[in-house]
Structure 1
């Protein structure tokens, strides 16, 4: 019997899911699919990676919800092209529906799968779901992508005033069109060479009370002033449209953060070179020192600057770091220690449970001065002043650096005033070499 496949990736939910809605509306019975991608997982050194455990937890949830409706979820561990080649032998596939992914690897993967599906007479359809606006929906008056956040945000907010963009996709109306099947087999973490830690992940909701206090409390790492929804947005266990509607009603500041997220996605989509290079190409001429001993002390949280060390230890222990502290540790890595932003970004990519290429890359290039609308290179965060301002009682620092103010705590790895002068001179020299 002909069926359509709903390929879940960064959208591990049934509610308000664009591709699932269009798949169900198309008329053919729909059988959902999730692939644990070997081309991604086999490159993860940490076999207790929190992200894999999170994905697995929500794939199980998805499977359970589908089975309660008499359907199921195809779950495979393999390379996507090979999985679809196998599925084409098992099922009469008419179309594959999925939500668009903006990363370079994902674009190549999807093109490869779409090309194969064409050879067997099946269509491939992708939809906007993980952002509020797609690459060409918020453009300048001349039809070009924005590279400065201010005018982008004004246009973005203006468009968002139209309720159309926040309208939910009523998938629930069409669940009777899911393919009816017996429960399908499920791979285990062990099958894939991973193990779980029994991690307690943040819930996929945020209280209105927190959002109303967000502007006031978001910069204080000792307080619970942020939503910690990054991992849910990363893997689509929460609807970006639901969250934006909630923010519209409670917190313009939080809504602005969602705008930054869209901004960095469209930068990555329009300018894919940012994955490996500075957005502003002249910044590739900067010669960083990249001393292994400095990299190690930064990674381990042993720099002698307590706010930096607290942030890195929080990251290493929990897979998460407060956003204000992320800015401080990134600036310190690049501008105090002269470590290439790509090294810092790669460490975050390895450790952050909510790692998202677009946002992570955008944040690191902002700190380096090399990105779109970035901080000027001569802006150097003073980590001591940042600690005094945003952790005035030292509660966050004491939580993660209990030996602070004892003989066991290391002396500062570098003097702030010296580091600031050195990095400004280094940037000036590097930028002289612009081709």
Structure 2
């Protein structure tokens, strides 16, 4: 056991998806009490998908450097937190264990059991609110029940404003030498053979400093046009903070407080800030739903969809994952996802709708693919959003609202700039046909170097027929229910 030479016993700070120094109440509590032992545990039972694992490596490297600079090296271990946290606490001679709360159903159960176990062994143990604008149990209807519809939820959440001021980052930490740590590089979170992460490296820089810079740049200019421009995938009109937020490199309170300040300082940005904060509220709503109804992550919210006749077409699913559906706006989104670990939110809705409604593939298959390929793969947001698109979820879009991928492309990418950026095989095609290349005259295709069925596929389904099939399947479950 390693113990400090003098002073109070140290405190363990268990980092999870709060990989930052600022506005970190668990870290602040430990710093107030004396020596700090920062710990991150890679739990094999809770491994992130490939793209998120790539991000995690970079985020941990940045956090480790920041903690070392302040005087408290980060301890890395692999294994079951229920075993390792008490073991590290005993090894360090710690008196307390602190962490910030997470709300995934399995994590809640694990944390409750660990907290009870630590308390039984006479450790001081405390968890803190740091991941949402409000705790899931704090926002209730007038009747005291959880919300099921977003708009009244957001009204109630907004009424809690202004947000408390974020906590500053500690200027200095007292660390503890001699605690064994694993080497981050041996965790193999980043691909090597083959190294498929070139697009991720080009698009992203994980870490708290990068998150702060991205927020500042967004609020300094982009947010002014956010309300309308956020639906145009070809332009950089969104914050792109979601992966930083997922890994806790920046907190919702930091984002919300900075956004509120920007709206006051620049009244012309107020409407854009309001639209942006509403999107931040949707994240809270997703966690609110999964906290009160944890089965929403795996089961249809609306039980009538349990009888839905999913096609289970594996070949169709694989074509969708590769961006080979023959519908350019869908394929561009799937290629963007594969290359950068990200997809524009409007295109996420279009691509998800296509899988569920045009191909009749179960929304859970799509959700799992997103979780493996997104750098911002948040369980609650991803699963509730997929159910929203599928029509099976809380406050969901009606199932009969079936996006026409051609019309969606023409509306939100009228010149085809987004498609050209991610489908170079269509880059030379006239904008009139960019979202429906099968309708282009043969001479226009030849001029653009396109051979349908060769270097770009024919549409895998006819929209009108696919729509009719989806509506018939929906009518079938409505009648049987």
TM-score of the superposition, structure 2-length normalised?
0.83
Q: CA deviation at 1:247?
A: 2.4
Q: Does structure 2 retain, via aligned residues, the 8 Å contact 1:234–1:354?
A: yes
Residue 222 (1) aligns with residue 239 (2): no
3-state SS, counterpart of residue 311 of structure 2: coil
Distance in 1 of aligned mates of 2:63 and 2:399: 46
Unaligned runs of 5+ in 1: none
Give the equivalent residue in structure 1 for 2:431: none
Give the equivalent residue in structure 2 for 1:20: 27
Q: In terms of Rg, which structure is larger?
A: 2
Residue 180 (1) aligns with residue 175 (2): yes
Give the equivalent residue in structure 2 for 1:432: 479
Distance in 2 of aligned mates of 1:50 and 1:365: 22
Residue 235 (1) aligns with residue 247 (2): yes
Q: CA deviation at 1:171?
A: 4.7
Which deviates further from its counterpart, 303-312 or 75-84?
Answer: 75-84
Give the equivalent residue in structure 1 for 2:359: 337
3-state SS, counterpart of residue 11 of structure 2: strand
Q: Does structure 2 retain, via aligned residues, the 8 Å contact 1:70–1:182?
A: no
3-state SS, counterpart of residue 146 of structure 1: coil
Give the equivalent residue in structure 2 for 1:411: 458
Q: CA deviation at 1:400?
A: 1.5
Give the equivalent residue in structure 2 for 1:107: 108
Q: CA deviation at 1:131?
A: 0.4
Q: CA deviation at 1:186?
A: 4.7
Distance in 2 of aligned mates of 1:30 and 1:409: 57
Question: Superposition pairs for residues 4-153 of structure 1, below 5 Å?
Answer: 4-25=11-32, 27-41=33-47, 49-153=50-154
3-state SS, counterpart of residue 75 of structure 1: strand
Which deviates further from its counterpart, 249-258 or 201-210?
Answer: 201-210
Distance in 2 of aligned mates of 1:53 and 1:418: 40
Give the equivalent residue in structure 2 for 1:192: 187
Residue 272 (1) aligns with residue 294 (2): yes
Distance in 1 of aligned mates of 2:183 and 2:69: 20
**1:168-209: CA deviations, max 9, x gaps?**
12453xx55x43334865533442244354724153122220
Distance in 1 of aligned mates of 2:175 and 2:328: 57
Q: CA deviation at 1:116?
A: 2.7
Q: CA deviation at 1:422?
A: 1.4
RMSD of aligned C-alpha atoms?
1.9
Q: CA deviation at 1:166?
A: 3.1
Give the equivalent residue in structure 2 for 1:168: 166
Residue 262 (1) aligns with residue 263 (2): no
Q: CA deviation at 1:426?
A: 0.6
Distance in 2 of aligned mates of 1:241 and 1:90: 34
Question: Superposition pairs for residues 362-401 of structure 1, below 5 Å?
Answer: 362-401=384-423
Unaligned runs of 5+ in 2: 4-8, 192-196, 264-268, 427-436, 438-449
Q: CA deviation at 1:133?
A: 0.7
3-state SS, counterpart of residue 19 of structure 2: coil
Structure 1 residues 28 and 190, CA gap change in structure 2 (3 angstroms): closer
3-state SS, counterpart of residue 95 of structure 2: strand
**1:411-433: CA deviations, max 9, x gaps?**
11111111112111111211333
Q: Does structure 2 retain, via aligned residues, the 8 Å contact 1:338–1:423?
A: yes
Q: Does structure 2 retain, via aligned residues, the 8 Å contact 1:299–1:312?
A: yes
Q: CA deviation at 1:394?
A: 0.7
Distance in 2 of aligned mates of 1:184 and 1:218: 47
Distance in 1 of aligned mates of 2:400 and 2:222: 34
Q: CA deviation at 1:68?
A: 2.1
3-state SS, counterpart of residue 302 of structure 1: coil
Q: Does structure 2 retain, via aligned residues, the 8 Å contact 1:71–1:183?
A: no
Q: Does structure 2 retain, via aligned residues, the 8 Å contact 1:166–1:244?
A: no
3-state SS, counterpart of residue 403 of structure 1: helix
**1:125-148: CA deviations, max 9, x gaps?**
111111001112211000111100
Structure 1 residues 167 and 413, CA gap change in structure 2 (3 angstroms): same
Residue 294 (1) aligns with residue 316 (2): yes
Aligned residues: 422
Distance in 1 of aligned mates of 2:123 and 2:86: 12
Structure 1 residues 60 and 231, CA gap change in structure 2 (3 angstroms): same
Q: Which of 353, 366, 373 is equivalent to 1:351? A: 373
Distance in 1 of aligned mates of 2:31 and 2:86: 23
Structure 1 residues 147 and 170, CA gap change in structure 2 (3 angstroms): same
Give the equivalent residue in structure 1 for 2:447: none
Give the equivalent residue in structure 2 for 1:245: 257
Structure 1 residues 272 and 282, CA gap change in structure 2 (3 angstroms): same
**1:240-286: CA deviations, max 9, x gaps?**
11211232224111011001111111001110001110112222221
Distance in 2 of aligned mates of 1:326 and 1:419: 19
Q: CA deviation at 1:287?
A: 1.7
Q: Does structure 1 retain, via aligned residues, the 8 Å contact 2:51–2:372?
A: no
